[in-house]
A and B are shown apart, each in its own frame.
Chain A
Amino acid sequence: MLCLGSAGQAQDPPKEHLLSSLLPDGPELEGWAKEGDHQFFEGDDLFIYIDGGAEIYFEYGFGRVIVQDYKKGTGSRLSLEIFEMESPEAAYGMFTFKSSPRGEPVVLGDEGQLADYYLNFWKGRYLITITGLDPEAGAKEDLVSLARLVDKKLEQRGQRPGLVSELPEDGLKPNSLRFFKGPLALYNSYPFFREDVFAFQSGIKGEYANGSTLFLFEYSTDKAAGRRFSEARSRFSAEPKYRNIQWDGELLVAQDEKGRAIYARLSGRFVLIVLGNNHRETAEALITRTEKHLANQKEDR
């Protein structure tokens, strides 16, 4: 078969070699062994590997990926993917995108999460995904053991994007965080519009114990945020799925086709949106709390 990506280790070019050196091998695998050659994809060739699912990686900032399957004597198989993203921010973003709402935290890299049959962690600009290919047979310990081997080989750490800390922590569900760098990730969290109406620099979403979901979109300047908020207001009015639109000069109120309330406000270079809480006072309180939090953070900086 023709494959535009490359396989094998015989003549690894430098970038491929760097990633292949991160693949656990030999005695350290303790019962596991590589199954077949690795696959390597760089830039646009990601389409060959993840045709149809590549854009989201590009939206966050993708560099290259190496993929290696492992097999245990009993027949269990694991797939290891090491994505080298363009920045720690990109790695963190994809990590939140791929996180499971039911996953459990695991101490790996800068942050890790273990789900039923798969595991994700990020460290520096790397995102690592390990999947049990035979979920019935897969043991979570195997996922974690393999992940630890990769973790040890990665030296540089990263930091979460600053925007994450702008969300008020009280009542925030940790697994619900989603960091956005573009419209596709936002669309997958909540499809406000099919077009890129908000056009933010970056965004964050968090769900709260009281049923509210908070979106916080960041812009480079107050003016840019104001322009986008103004555009969004008219689009809410024009979009048939939204009804009961109200605008009092500060707060935009709408209701989506499922009857969920939406409250949106412009605050400096941020747009804040609370979705899903039909109790107006509670929603407004969260917006106010976030604004205070933003102000405090600004003073701290």
Chain B
Amino acid sequence: MTGYIGRREFLRKGLKVGLTAAVGGPFLRQFARGPSAALAKDLPDVAVAWGEDYARNVLKAVELLGGIERFVPKNSRVAILANVQSSHPGTFTSPTVLGSVLQLCRKAGAKEINMVSWQALKNWESTGLAKVVAEGGASLKLVERDEANFKPLPIPAGKVLTEARILNALLEHDVFINMPVTKDHAGNKFTGAMKNLMGINSPGNNRTFHKENWQTDRSAIEHLDQSIADLNTAVKPVLNLVDATEFITTNGPFGPGEIIKPKKVVAGVDRVAVDAYCAALWGLKGEDIVMIKRGQEHGLGNYDLKKVKIKEIKA
């Protein structure tokens, strides 16, 4: 069986990568079972659907990856992480895109769908995402920024980040879908799938990504990138579905800034490849983004788009 990971191997990997045993574990098992693993061999690493109908783009991108059932088992509890940091246009996950994912999860027979976040309710409301969540039969699992709501997680593979603090709420789920919007970032030039995982890490811990000992380290712009790559060794979303429909390419991540509209939805399991593809949408190269390079060095994926299987269709 292609890609099968036996129990001993699963446990070894799980122990090695910390939370993967708790959160990523079920996904690894899922990938290893049934026809989906065999199917994965012929599926693209990055699936892209573009067109005016953003909801349809989601359906088509996921279809290219083998269908939602590959990622969301029946009766599973699904956690979704959207980007809802700012309500400025082009800075948050599109409500249309999220609505379409919720529809897919329901179709797959998910028992429960929750948006997990420590962002304020105001953000969810002002972006229109709260309304879509309510209409889509999902729930907002919003937690306060209190460190007690986060579970300490050692990161053995971390080069600068040795411990993360992951939302307790995430651990109550079987499936984790990562749904960022790709956009500019003043700190490291780019944000996408990998960086979005800071949304499940505690704000207190995230601060150490930006500043060592709370002070700006002017000689270490790379520190943020390495921290993000390290965090990604510990948490593996089952699916990364990136909103690349309309997003800012300047003044990120908060905006307002210049907006471009590629009208694309980009999906894949390989976060590094997905990010490299998204970066290229506004002329950046994966290898120029330190975070993406460090992700590949950690073995999380491949940024060389010539070596990555990309399937792109007009929806």
Q: Which residues of B contact A187 (CB under 8 A)?
A: 189, 221
A100 interface residue (CB < 8 Å to B):
yes
Q: A102-B258, A131-B255 are in contact. Are A79 and B210 (CB under 8 A)?
A: no
Within 8 A of B (CB), among A174-220: 182-184, 187-188, 191, 194-196, 199
Q: CA A58 – CA B144 in complex, angstroms?
A: 25
A1 interface residue (CB < 8 Å to B):
yes
Q: Do residues B290 and A50 form an inter-chain contact, with CB atoms below 8 A?
A: no
Q: Which residues of A contact B185 (CB under 8 A)?
A: 52-53
Closest chain A residue, CB of each to CB of B251: A98
Q: Which residues of B contact A1 (CB under 8 A)?
A: 120-122, 142, 144
CB of B207 to closest CB in A, whole Å: 6
Name B252's contact: one of A4, A53, A69, A116 (CB within 8 Å). A53
**Number of interface residues, chain B, beta carbon within 8 A:** 44
CB of B259 to closest CB in A, whole Å: 7
B139 interface residue (CB < 8 Å to A):
no
Contact with B along A52-63 (1 / 0, CB 8 A): 111110110000
CB of B162 to closest CB in A, whole Å: 21
Q: A51-B203, A184-B186, A194-B222 are in contact. Are A133 and B126 (CB under 8 A)?
A: yes
Within 8 A of A (CB), among B196-213: 198, 203, 206-207, 210-211
Contact with B along A263-298 (1 / 0, CB 8 A): 000000000000000000000000000000000000
Q: CA A248 – CA B96 in complex, angstroms?
A: 58
Name B256's contact: one of A51, A56, A115 (CB within 8 Å). A115
Q: CA A24 – CA B251 in complex, angstroms?
A: 25
Q: Which of B83-91, B165-173, B262-270, B298-306 contacts A (4 or more CB under 8 A)?
A: B83-91
Q: A36-B122, A191-B189 are in contact. Are A116 and B255 (CB under 8 A)?
A: no
B9 interface residue (CB < 8 Å to A):
no
Q: Do residues B218 and A183 form an inter-chain contact, with CB atoms below 8 A?
A: yes
Q: Do residues B126 and A56 form an inter-chain contact, with CB atoms below 8 A?
A: no
Contact with A along B118-161 (1 / 0, CB 8 A): 00111000100000000000000010111000000000000000
Q: CA A154 – CA B210 in complex, angstroms?
A: 33
Name B126's contact: one of A4, A69, A116, A117 (CB within 8 Å). A69
Q: Do residues A116 and B87 form an inter-chain contact, with CB atoms below 8 A?
A: no
Q: CA A194 – CA B87 in complex, angstroms?
A: 30
CB of B156 to closest CB in A, whole Å: 26
Q: CA A47 – CA B198 in complex, angstroms?
A: 13
**Chain B's interface: helix, strand, loop or mixed, by majority?**
loop
CB of A198 to closest CB in B, whole Å: 11
Q: Do residues B144 and A133 form an inter-chain contact, with CB atoms below 8 A?
A: no
Q: CA A56 – CA B255 in complex, angstroms?
A: 12
Contact with A along B212-235 (1 / 0, CB 8 A): 001010111110000000000000
B187 interface residue (CB < 8 Å to A):
yes
Closest chain B residue, CB of each to CB of A129: B256
A135 interface residue (CB < 8 Å to B):
yes
Q: Do residues A182 and B252 form an inter-chain contact, with CB atoms below 8 A?
A: no
Name B219's contact: one of A52, A117, A188, A196 (CB within 8 Å). A196
Q: CA A196 – CA B250 in complex, angstroms?
A: 21
B191 interface residue (CB < 8 Å to A):
yes
A44 interface residue (CB < 8 Å to B):
yes
Most buried by A among B142, B214, B222, B257: B257
Closest chain B residue, CB of each to CB of A183: B218
Q: Which residues of B contact A251 (CB under 8 A)?
A: none
Closest chain A residue, CB of each to CB of B142: A1
Name A194's contact: one of B120, B121, B214, B290 (CB within 8 Å). B290
Q: Which residues of A contact B220 (CB under 8 A)?
A: 195
B50 interface residue (CB < 8 Å to A):
no
A3 interface residue (CB < 8 Å to B):
yes
Q: Do residues A100 and B187 form an inter-chain contact, with CB atoms below 8 A?
A: no
Q: Do residues B89 and A135 form an inter-chain contact, with CB atoms below 8 A?
A: yes
Contact with B along A148-181 (1 / 0, CB 8 A): 0000000000000000000000000000000000
A2 interface residue (CB < 8 Å to B):
yes
Within 8 A of B (CB), among A57-95: 58-59, 69, 77, 79
Q: Do residues A55 and B85 form an inter-chain contact, with CB atoms below 8 A?
A: no
A48 interface residue (CB < 8 Å to B):
yes
Q: Do residues A47 and B207 form an inter-chain contact, with CB atoms below 8 A?
A: yes
Closest chain B residue, CB of each to CB of A5: B120
Q: Which residues of A contact B86 (CB under 8 A)?
A: 50
B253 interface residue (CB < 8 Å to A):
yes
Closest 3 CB pairs of A and B: A118-B256, A2-B144, A53-B254
Can you list 20 A-B pairs with a CB-CB distance of less than 8 A? A1-B121, A1-B122, A1-B144, A2-B145, A2-B146, A3-B120, A36-B122, A51-B198, A51-B203, A52-B85, A52-B198, A53-B186, A53-B252, A53-B253, A97-B251, A117-B259, A129-B256, A184-B186, A184-B221, A187-B221
Can you name 13 extra interface pairs (CB under 8 A) apart from A52-B253, A100-B258, A196-B219? A4-B145, A50-B254, A51-B203, A52-B85, A52-B210, A53-B187, A101-B258, A117-B259, A133-B87, A184-B187, A194-B221, A194-B290, A199-B218
